[in-house]
A and B are shown apart, each in its own frame.
Chain A
Amino acid sequence: MIRLLALFVLLALPAKAEEIVLGLSRDQVAITATFEGSDILVFGAIKREAPIPDKSELGVIVTVAGPDEPVLVRRKDKRLGIWVNTDEVEVDAAPSFYAVATNLPMRDALKDTEDLRYGITIPRVIRSVGARVGDSAEFTRALIRIRAAEELYQVLEGAVDLEKETLFRTAISLPANLTEGDYEAHIFLTRNGRVVDEYITTIPVRKVGLERWLYNLAHDNAFLYGLMSLTIAIAAGWGASAAFTLLRR
């Protein structure tokens, strides 16, 4: 009986046959005043002690997620002949940026149960509980639709290149309107849709240079910042007036 149990435990917890070894093209993303978005190259290899298991498909899923934040989703409705915001749902936590790249079609790379467990696809990442409006799922879908249109949410099926079931690489493009924070890159290795290994790393996204300086000034010395803005405005007006007088002469 004990022997059978031990065998069972051994079967349930197989030693990791395949493991991820990862590289990133950049350890940090810096947002400067002229930031126009950038690419992050995620590449790595699969380390294995045993020969490649055949008759099963190897899936590599790479996700990059921005910091979670609550989002208010509003819906317009026709009231007295005009379109106004009527219902709203607060989504408790939605990533400010989310990209998921796979080498296979999502359905082949990941089973639904595994998706539920690890929270990999976009609808599984967004947490919306306690919504007051009945059709809150519609609001979550709208959130995904709007963010996808802004390229803040990206599903990149087939964007991971896998070579000889060992080397993988993918490029994830970050848009210019990034939120500051610690971005998490997750790499999942799947066999027949089951996750066999997982690797997590953090990519800090920070404002630097002029952008950082302005942000600090605005938050720490708000009064000074306001005065500076006004000075710039007055100087610009006066400068233009002076320039045009010179031009007319």
Chain B
Amino acid sequence: MGVGGGFIMVPAMIYLLGMPTKVVVGTSLFQIIFVTAFTTMLHATTNYTVDVVLAVLLLVGGVSGAQIGTRIGVKMKAEQLRILLALMVLAVCGKLAFDLLVQPAELYSLGEGGHS
């Protein structure tokens, strides 16, 4: 939910809508603002699971990374950006597949009880 659908939106805009890659990045981010803002409010009001202290720590890295990222994005070609995105999507897929296929060291996990 936190990714805001960027992984799906970006390829969809590029290949289905035929939008230029440079425009897609900004459009996707603009759309994510509203999705994430809305889900933040929902999480805050329904299950009180917004951890502001942790969020601030993550923001420090996130906002500085975004600044550096936009500078790099300006200098790079659209094809290079697409390849980088593809590599990242593939790497995440690979990690998920790896976790599902390899026997985990600890078969048990703990969750909050009392709901069922």
A: residues with CB less than 8 A from B are: 33, 69-78, 81-85, 88, 90-92, 139, 142-143, 145-147, 214, 218-219, 222-223, 225-230, 232-233, 236-237, 239-241, 243-244
Contact = CB atoms under 8 A, between A and B. Distances in A.
Interface string B25-66: 000000000000100110111001010110110011011101
A38 B67 CA distance: 39
A218 B44 contact: yes
A75 B100 contact: no
Contacts of A232: 52, 55-56, 59
Contacts of A236: 56, 59-60, 62-63
Contacts of B107: 75-77, 142
A37 B18 CA distance: 54
21 contacts: A70-B113, A72-B110, A72-B116, A73-B108, A82-B101, A83-B99, A83-B103, A142-B107, A143-B108, A146-B106, A146-B110, A218-B52, A223-B45, A227-B41, A228-B52, A230-B41, A232-B59, A233-B40, A236-B56, A236-B60, A244-B67
A74 B104 CA distance: 13
Most chain A CB inside 10 Å of its own CB: which residue of B44, B64, B112, B114: B44
Contact of A83 (B53, B63, B67, B100): B100
A82 B98 CA distance: 9
Nearest to A210: B53
Given A72-B113, A72-B116, A88-B111, 12 more contacts: A70-B113, A71-B110, A74-B108, A85-B109, A90-B116, A145-B108, A146-B110, A218-B44, A226-B44, A229-B55, A237-B66, A244-B67
Interface residues of B, number: 37
B92 to A, nearest CB: 16
Nearest to B68: A244
B44 A222 contact: yes
Interface string B72-108: 0000000000000000000000000001111110111
Contacts of A222: 44-45, 48
Contacts of A84: 100
B40 A226 contact: yes
